[in-house]
Chain A
Amino acid sequence: MPWISVDAGRWVADVELSLSVNGRSHPIDAEPGETLLHVLRERLGLTGAKEGCSEGECGACTVLVGGRPMDSCLLAVHSVAGSEITTIEGVGEPGGALSPLQEAMVRAGGVQCGFCTPGFVMTLTALLADQPNPAEDDIRRALAGNICRCTGYAQIVDAVLTIAGGGR
């Protein structure tokens, strides 16, 4: 199905747009209305972001768009062309090591079945970038849009507290 974009006052059909994911640029080859989550998982093979509810309730599909956490299941992929997208595949250290937050999640037992974990890590990565030393209340508020059915949240909050303020 063709799609059309209006660019600089001109109608341009089937414009090739690109998507920047974890620092790499990909041409967008997607249907109009196709979600960012679908493109990440089915077209780019980045299966870290999970599809839970598909309605913006569970947060399992959270990615960062320009550093801001958003539900990728509700973003039309063409609407984020030109933004820098960060997924769970892009948060680790160069060389493949886990980020300090991911390490802390493992140590604290904040990962059980693991389905919600990428979403939690993305939201918390945004929180720590914003606020390196969050209080427990800040952490719980930030996580209002992420649902976990295993941990009861306590270990996830503990994980963040152990590294809050730069760790130790």
Chain B
Amino acid sequence: MQFHSPRTENEALHTLAELGNSAMVMAGGTDVMVQYQRGEIHPESLVHIGLIERLDEIAQNGTVRIGTLVCHRRLATDSLICARFPSLAEAASTVGGWQTQEAGTIGGNLCNASPAADTAPPLLVADAAVHLAHAGGGRTLPLSEFLLDRRLTARRPDELLTVVELPDPANYSGETYLKVGPRSGMEVALVGLAVRLTFTDDGATVADARIAACSVGPRPFRATVAEAVLVGSRLEQEAVAEAGQLLAESARPIDDARGLADYRRRVLAPLLGRAVDICRRRALGG
């Protein structure tokens, strides 16, 4: 195996163009190195992008642009992210322990495309887009079109995910990420749920609702049918219960070592109820 450590984005893109399918891109290595040492992957080349300049920046200019190398620890503690996208900060703070959060990156979390990727649900409710660069150009995709299936993304072998871009949330919005697992932080999610609610000016009615879940299907997904029930509601008990039921029906969980599909499905509705209360409190205060 060869090891490449390009220092600029341009070098990285040319390396990827040249190596094609034989290369595995690695940022912090918290997923790639585990897979490599287990013998699950046998890349001819590892392309380490962790030393590339300027991909570890968080910039703000109408939208918030998060560089692919921004680590989970920084997401969890950055004042802009904590204020504007608290569900993303909460999700990042539950990715493994401190050690994993220092090494693991937002770009790595998305490109690894684990069904349990913690940063995916908050980014989905934020309508995040990902920028994919290649030698001589680039394209921007909504995150929902980037995450295709378990361990499968829309990234071509010659492309590098460079930036995750988030539009600002509307006024009167509140959001949260809730995770179920035996040790919550540290653990791979048994169920992860991000919710963002936006209220009308008078705070009475839900103007917009976003619900996204991970670990309950092959990829993290938005539950649009459940969202529709909350829009226009005043979060009456029946509306929240119906949304919870639709959310559970839209999930496709499996049984695995961490938990049973039935448990995962059943935990979704109560989790949504709890998330909705937090969103309301955060949007309207009190």
**Known A3-B3, A33-B3, A56-B100: A74·B186 in contact at CB below 8 Å:** no
17 more CB-based (< 8 A) A-B contacts, given A57-B186, A65-B102, A75-B33: A3-B2, A6-B4, A6-B6, A9-B11, A32-B3, A33-B36, A35-B37, A68-B102, A71-B100, A79-B48, A79-B50, A82-B51, A126-B98, A141-B98, A141-B185, A144-B186, A145-B98
CB distance B26 to A79 under 8 Å?
yes
User: Is B33 a contact partner of A1 (Cβ separation < 8 A)?
Assistant: no
Q: Size class of B's contact patch?
A: 20 to 34
Interface majority SS on B: helix, strand, loop or mixed? mixed
Contact among A56, A78, A141 with B96 in the assembled complex (CB-CB below 8 Å): A56
A28 to B4, CA, bound (A): 15
B152 at the interface (CB under 8 A from A): no
Give the contacts of A1-55 with B (CB-CB under 8 A).
1-9, 31-33, 35, 54-55
Evaluate contact between A76 and B100: CB separation under 8 angstroms. Answer: no
The reply to whether the CB of A86 lies closer than 8 angstroms to some CB of chain B is no
Q: Is the CB of A78 within 8 A of B15?
A: no
Cβ < 8 Å to B, chain A residues 116-161: 123, 126, 141-146
B37, A75: Cβ atoms closer than 8 Å = no
Instruction: Tell me the smallest distance from the CB of B232 to a CB of chain A, in Å.
Output: 40
Q: A70 an interface residue at 8 Å Cβ cutoff?
A: yes
The residue of chain A having its C-beta at the shortest distance from the C-beta of B73 within the complex is: A68
Give the shortest distance, in Å, between A8 (CB) and chain B (any CB). Answer: 7
| B 44-64 contacts with A by CB, 8 A | 46, 48, 50-51
Chain A residues with CB under 8 A of B11 = 6, 9
How large, as a class, is the contact surface on chain A?
Answer: 35 or more
Whether A69 is near chain B, meaning CB under 8 Å from some CB there, is: yes
By DSSP majority rule, is chain A's interface helix, strand, loop, or mixed? mixed
- Please list the residues of chain B having a beta carbon within 8 angstroms of any beta carbon in chain A: 1-8, 11, 15, 26, 29-30, 33-34, 36-37, 46, 48, 50-51, 73, 96-100, 102-103, 183, 185-186
Given B29, B48, B99, which contacts A145 in the complex, CB threshold below 8 Å?
B99
Residue pair A144, B185 in contact (C-beta under 8 Å): yes
Closest to B101 in A: A145
What's the minimum C-beta distance from A151 to chain B, rounded to whole angstroms?
Answer: 17
Check A146 against B5 for contact (C-beta < 8 Å): no
B11 — nearest CB in chain A belongs to which residue?
Answer: A6
